[in-house]
Chain A
Amino acid sequence: MNYLTIIIGHIGGTLLLLVRSLKFLPTLPRQFARFMEQCYLIGYTSLPIVTILSFFIGSVLALQSGYSMENFGAKQFIGTLVGLTMARELGPVMVAILIAGRVGSAITAELASMKVYQEIDALTTMNIPPERMLVLPRLAAIVVMMPVLAIIANLCGWYGGALVCQYTHSISVDSEAYFTALKAYMKRSDVTDGLIKAEVFGFVIILVCCYIGLNTRGGPREIGASVTKAVVTSLILILVLDYFVTKALLMS
């Protein structure tokens, strides 16, 4: 079997997993506790790292653009640059990468070990579809949590940039000017586009990580291999999807 066939097979398998999971959507209300648990694991516990990371990304962005924009005497547009870049691109992508590394890997490891230690088989013989109990609550949780994380990342990045602009001697753009510039050229759709992107990324990451975890075969060694595969696939998908989603959003 050549690689193309394998890849197409995986795409099909992932889509089938999605369809089978969505089929159980009506059971979500009675899985509320499980959904809450996943929200907690995916959203709440990711908050500190998302905050810290996006804050420093905003800061570095302001620092770098301050350094380079000084040459054009365009320092007053740092706010615009940081604002737009965080909202449209770096916010969603960095949160997605974090989720892939922090949550996606954990999901794959958990599902892969359940598969390797036959817990998945046990669920199947107990007539409890793994898609219903394991995949659906995670997908629902990421749909709810991803925009929240993304908007927090945006704001942290913006404030990081503002602080750097104000207190870096070579830039010294006060935060009022920074936010005026940020608001002057940003539309609401810039933020919503970013949130849509984050939503797409998060959903795809969780779906792919679930798929790879559930399709692990072999022993404990394969758990590690699956995690690596899941994270690498997620990262590639984030950046490839980023291009296409951005293009679609810009066209609409």
Chain B
Amino acid sequence: MSNSTFTASPFLGKTFGVTVANVTKKFGRTTVLKDVSLEVKPGEIFCIMGPSGSGKTVLLKHIAGLEIPTSGEVRIGDFDAADPETRNKVHLALVFQAGALFNSLSVYDNLALYPREHRECNEAGIRERVMHALSILSLEKAANKFPSDLSGGMKKRVAIARALVMEPQLLLYDEPTSELDPVMSATLTEIIATLREQTAVTSIVVTHDRDLAFAIADRVAFVMDGKIRGVGRPADFKNPTDPVIANFLNPVIDLKNPRFKQLENSHE
């Protein structure tokens, strides 16, 4: 993939900021989010980082309106994210971690579903939009394949292409580079950055990929154990003062860690 083939589709000019205000989320007795507050400015790439199980994906689902906060509020621009009506007003696209492609539909139909359902244009117009999105991610050859025939990386690219067809005003990525090889990770990183550059769409990226976050993010938030541990520009975290964040970003690989003593012994 090279940038020369890369031109953005005619996105709607408007984009939205996101405000997360004192959101707490409980699943039964476990509290996943504890009084989380964030401010994402329109047009910026905002990365949410944190270890697995810290609640960052749940936070993203709140922004997408798929989860309703136990207390607190998420606002997209002036709209409440939890209100189904908001989706009529904001074109919001979420790139799922596993792609979440429709298995019963071909790649082409996966992409065409949104414009068809919303009757945004005729079949010829839809075809143009779909093929354009596919070409951005060099997926033209996969158009008639089914999701089950695709590799993990291909599925992610198709998922991003499907998000592009929606001409989003707010783009959410859930672990876009997980399970990908380093080259593909780099490509996706380029794509996210270029998309924002060309369309100025607000992008929120949930990831634990340090390289991705530091390469593209305007700002980074660290979520640890359901709480915001720190927010700032990537440069602020080059030499983090917080030991927890420091350990997350630069984990020390200590083969002599006493924790593994038992393991060693058992091998003897």
Contact = CB atoms under 8 A, between A and B. Distances in A.
Direct contact of A and B (CB under 8 A): yes
A125 B114 contact: no
Could you say which of A122, A124, A133 has the most chain B C-beta atoms within 10 Å of its C-beta?
A: A122
Interface string A117-156: 1110110111110000100000000000000000000000
Given A117-B103, A127-B87, A127-B88, A122 B118 contact: no
Interface of A: 30, 110, 113-114, 117-119, 121-122, 124-128, 133
B94 A122 contact: yes
Given A113-B103, A126-B117, A127-B118, 18 more contacts: A114-B103, A118-B100, A119-B100, A119-B103, A121-B64, A121-B66, A122-B96, A124-B65, A124-B87, A125-B65, A125-B92, A125-B93, A126-B93, A126-B166, A127-B87, A127-B88, A128-B113, A128-B117
Given A125-B64, A126-B166, A133 B94 contact: no
B96 A121 contact: yes
Contacts of B118: 127-128
Interface in B81-130: 87-88, 92-94, 96, 98, 100-104, 113-114, 117-119
Contacts of B117: 126, 128, 133
B101 A124 contact: no
Interface in B48-80: 61, 64-66
Given A128-B117, A133-B117, A122 B88 contact: no
Nearest to A113: B103
Contact of B100 (A30, A122, A128): A122
B102 A125 contact: no
A118 B98 contact: yes
Contacts of B98: 117-118
Secondary structure dominating the interface of B: loop
A137 to B, nearest CB: 13
A128 B240 CA distance: 43
A168 B114 CA distance: 61
Nearest to B119: A30
B66 A124 contact: yes
A30 B116 CA distance: 10
A126 B66 contact: no
Contacts of B119: 30
11 contacts: A119-B100, A119-B101, A121-B61, A122-B100, A124-B66, A125-B64, A125-B93, A125-B94, A126-B113, A126-B117, A127-B87
Could you say which of A113, A118, A133 has the most chain B C-beta atoms within 10 Å of its C-beta?
A: A118
A110 B103 CA distance: 10
A127 B102 CA distance: 15
Could you say which of A113, A121, A125 has the most chain B C-beta atoms within 10 Å of its C-beta?
A: A125
Contacts of B93: 125-126
Nearest to B64: A125
Could you say which of B100, B101, B113, B119 has the most chain A C-beta atoms within 10 Å of its C-beta?
A: B100
